[in-house]
Amino acid sequence: MKLHGTHILSAPRQQVWELLNDPARLAKCLPGCERLEPDGPDRYKAVVKFALSAITGVYSGAIELRDKKPPQSLRIRLEGKGAPGFVNAEGSVELKEKSGRTELRYAGEAQVGGLIATVGQRLIESAARKIVTQFFESAAKQLQSKAGV
For 42-73, the pLDDT digits (tens) are 999 999 998 887 788 999 999 999 999 999 99
Q: How many CA atoms lie within 13 A of 72 on its CB side?
A: 2
For 100-139, the pLDDT digits (tens) are 999 999 999 999 999 988 888 888 899 899 999 999 999 9
| Structural fold of domain 2-147 | Alpha-D-Glucose-1,6-Bisphosphate; Chain A, domain 4 (3.30.530)
The pTM for the full model equals 0.92
Q: Cis (ω within 30 of 0) for the bond into 41?
A: no
Q: Give the domain ranges of the chain.
A: 2-147
Cα 72 from Cα 80, distance rounded (Å): 27
**Which amino acid belongs to residue 114?**
G
